[in-house]
Chains A and B, each alone.
Chain A
Amino acid sequence: MAPAPLSTAPSTSKSYPKTTPPSILLVIIDIHPLSWSLLASPPPLAPLPDHPGIDRAQASPMTLPDFVTVLMVFLNAHLASRWGNEVVVYGASAGRAKLLYPPPPNAVAGPSKPRPNSYLPFQLLDSRIEEGLKEMAAEERDRLENGDIKSLNQPPAMVSALTKALCFINRIIPNNANSAALIDPTSNQDQNGPSSSGPDKPETRILVINATPGENVSTAQADSNGENGNNANANGQNNGESSQSGKGGQMRGGYVGLMNCVFAAQKAKVPIDVLSLPPPNIDASPPIFLQQAAHLTEGIYWQWNGRGGLLQYLHALYLPPPSLRHHPFVVPPQDAVGFRAVCFCHHKTLDVGFVCSVCLSIFCEPRPVCLMCKTRFPIKSIPTLKSLATYIEPIPIPDTVPPLPVQKGSWNNQAADHKKEKHKNATNGDRSEPIEID
């Protein structure tokens, strides 16, 4: 359940909320070593003759320590902006995710001698994150030394981290009406007396910081750009925790897992904000599934332009809590979202796919038997479907327009009684031709 909306009538400044509920920020940092090595040595930026002001800013390499420093200042600002604000940090590395902050309750408190010039909560947060990141880096080194190259080439475990984050939210804010009964009337009473308030229900949001270029995020699948050949190994390798869940060992679940997380977050009204670090010169294609995640949960998606200024961007875009975002503040304009999906058989990103009419699994080619639910379909309809699919013209979308609603093409449903073709919008014009079907 969402925190009770504050009294917000439009127009005058008098109507601005007097208080906001405490806010919990769950950050997921992608610390995949390969992605960060790419970020640390970016190719030169393409010039932007239209915007001389932006063009003057030099391309700045971004290393993990630099970024973590910026991130810590941002997290401190989040803690500073209200009493009772909290931060939770997860690290997502190749194939595994880990809670970095807060430390588990039974952990021995570190050498936390307060420093006279820093606020103790900030200091604890910063030192613990640094410690956690170093631990994770050491683990990665161990994996490398043990020759565990294949697992190092896995994509970052975004799904695992997101699941953990959602479980964390569910633990602190149970969706249980019984426990809420005590709290809700209390918050209604808030205006009644100066201190009659029970604890305000905290609002939560997730911030995903993505460092991995393009579509490698969360789905282990071939990359069409060819820039990330080093990740090619991962395609043959099953994603760590999802391989067990796949039926018949076929399905790798990265995409499905991510989407399940997104819908869970959507239902729990938890916005997923996404900051995508790889600038356009590393990766021309945005991580469309994270972009979809932000869009579906009403989060904020933004891609860094590779020209510095991250501290300012973080403060400007991601700091206001959800209760202030739409009123009185304004959400930055979002890029057009690509609503393409991934097929369950080869994990390709599809413009045109075929959907099982029973279990709604998506495939890149028509199949006589659904791989997921084993439903049989008449074999005769397959050539008809294939021929019809070649006529579908994907709709090009301009680059930056307000996000469009999901368009599910169903205009060729007369073609088959057992399979429907599903048309997904493409983000960029150059990527929008239909995938060829053999």
Chain B
Amino acid sequence: MVQPSFSHPRAESSSSSASTSPTAALDTFLDNQHQSYFEELYKSEAVCLCILRSLPPVCRHIILHHLWSHQPLRTTEVKSFVQMDIKTSLEEVDEVMKPALKRKILHPMILKKGKNIWLSNDAFKKGLRNVLTGLGTSNSFGVPFDREDDMEVPSQEELIAYGEEAFEGILKYMVSSGLGIGFSVALPQPEVLELLHISGLMIDPSDATGQRPNLNRMTITSKGFQFLLEDRQTQLWEILMYYLNAKEANSERSAEVLSMFFTLGCMQLGQDYSASRSFPHTLSALNDLAQYGFIYRPSPDADQFYPTHLATALCSGDAATNQGQDADEKRFLILETNYKIYAYTSNELEIAILNLFVDIRIRYPNLVVGKLDRKNVKSAMEKGISANQIIAYLSSHAHPQMYNSPPPLLHPTIVDQLHLWDRERNRLKMEDTVMLEFFSKELFEDTVNEATTNAALQLSVPAQKFLFIEPQTKAAITDFVKERQNQLRSGF
């Protein structure tokens, strides 16, 4: 049996988390788009700025380095800039600029007058230059609303509270549907429910076909549970990408909507903007976003709107949503080596999420005490939550006190135990198979070889000369066995 190796749980989790940035959903979406889609996007300066910032630092600085040059970017230039040997292969240099090529900021490398060059995308270059100089004309940073002086202006705290309430309302609804525990939650808007259904975060268990769900009786799926454990920015981008994909599925143009997301991300919290002038083509999408708490409208049909922190923090890269006043609120967990968890929170949503994998024993007004035990963790894993997700959740919500002990943040005992529980679940695997029994050792060995080369082998037991193969390869293997048998016999 293969021994599970947890000697480097850190290395393992770091490699898995390296691939998941908050904008992973966005990245996969953009990776699948074509040149024309980007041409459309880069008309907006806000998009150029956000895409530039999403590039890895080396690539980003090469682009900025080259921004004001009239010449195309030469490979020799990049090589000398990043201290590569002049004889380095072109593929390796291309690899450096890969992120920019994928975002169509540079055109693929060509050979011109004996020099290998990348031509830059003029739309992007022009857009980025306009960002820096402020000379654009596309109103991509939002047109402010001309309000009268006596109008009431909501404070930043009010906007944050509004956004939190709206978005957490949706999350609470998802949690409560899964746990069946009763804290009263308002039913989200029908459009929101529909998106939750389309995205596969929630399903109607009574609806077998998945075609005509009853939106009011949906329950959360394992994908939905995983979604709940993500950090806020990842959740926001995932929701937006589900929304965008739904739009695409209805064969609507999504480039303008996507560019609106970026514009919202570049807006300023506490400033009001004019909807009709900022987004003349995507007003309906803006209305949809209001249901998730991305924007606040003083009155439902007013032209004036305020972006909330959900919108303005969209593009702020790494964990900027954790900064500010809700950073401390999010760091409330103390995990002891005896599996006890103390959560200093009174947030219903966080308690409900904890309840997914923690056996909650005591509740005080601002403190919840519970224990990680096998039963609850395994029931969470049944729901599709992986050990890595639980670990990520625990470490991202760790109380500042936890940082006072020497790293690692979470004690290895607990991390290992969670992994073990995860493995336990996968100890047995059921598969259909066909068993062949042999009497001749020679024939058995030949068949094993044949099955291995055709990837049909599941298990071989040489002692008893048993062979287990994939059911769909049965005919082919038996044919082979017969043929081989004849050959062997005729050989004698």
| B276: chain A residues within 8 A (beta carbon) | none
Q: Considering residues A118, A182, A327, which has the most beta carbons from chain B within 10 angstroms of its beta carbon?
A: A118
B395 at the interface (CB under 8 A from A): yes
| B190: chain A residues within 8 A (beta carbon) | none
Q: Considering residues B130, B135, B271, B395, which has the most beta carbons from chain A within 10 angstroms of its beta carbon?
A: B395
Contact A330–B396 (Cβ < 8 Å): no
Counting chain B residues whose Cβ lies within 8 A of the other chain, the interface size class is 35 or more
B234 at the interface (CB under 8 A from A): yes
**Segment of A26-34, A142-150, A191-199 engaged in the interface with chain B:** A191-199
Contact A320–B61 (Cβ < 8 Å): yes
Complex Cα distance A115/B271, Å? Answer: 12
A19 at the interface (CB under 8 A from B): yes
Q: Which of A166-218 contact B (CB under 8 A)?
A: 181-182, 185-186, 188-189, 191-199
Q: Which of B2-34 contact A (CB under 8 A)?
A: 10, 13-14, 17-18, 20-22
Q: Considering residues A80, A324, A328, which has the most beta carbons from chain B within 10 angstroms of its beta carbon?
A: A80
Contact B57–A315 (Cβ < 8 Å): no
B237 at the interface (CB under 8 A from A): no
Given contacts A77-B67, A316-B65, contact A117 B57 (CB under 8 A): no
Q: Which of B65, B134, B322 contacts A117 (CB 8 A)?
A: B134
Contact A113–B144 (Cβ < 8 Å): yes
Complex Cα distance A18/B19, Å? Answer: 11
Contact B131–A119 (Cβ < 8 Å): yes
A12 at the interface (CB under 8 A from B): yes
Interface of A is mostly: loop
B81 at the interface (CB under 8 A from A): yes
Complex Cα distance A76/B57, Å? Answer: 16
Contact A198–B403 (Cβ < 8 Å): yes
Contact B234–A194 (Cβ < 8 Å): yes
A38 at the interface (CB under 8 A from B): no
Given contacts A16-B56, A80-B52, A328-B83, contact A319 B231 (CB under 8 A): no
Given contacts A13-B95, A84-B320, A320-B61, contact A192 B134 (CB under 8 A): no
Contact B61–A319 (Cβ < 8 Å): yes
Given contacts A83-B318, A119-B49, A315-B64, contact A17 B81 (CB under 8 A): no
B35 at the interface (CB under 8 A from A): no
B349 at the interface (CB under 8 A from A): no
A122 at the interface (CB under 8 A from B): yes
A37 at the interface (CB under 8 A from B): no
Q: Which of A76-91 contact B (CB under 8 A)?
A: 76-77, 80-84
Contact A18–B56 (Cβ < 8 Å): yes
Report B248-273 CB contacts with A as 1/0, cut-off 8 Å.
00000000000000000011100100
| B83: chain A residues within 8 A (beta carbon) | 327-330
- Contacts A17-B56, A185-B404, A328-B82 known; list 5 others, CB within 8 Å: A80-B64, A118-B134, A119-B49, A193-B392, A194-B230
Q: Interface residues, chain B, CB within 8 Å of chain A? A: 10, 13-14, 17-18, 20-22, 45-46, 49, 52-53, 56-58, 60-61, 64-65, 67-69, 80-83, 92, 95-96, 128, 130-144, 230-231, 233-234, 266-268, 271, 277-278, 315-320, 322-323, 391-392, 395-396, 398, 400, 403-404, 406-410
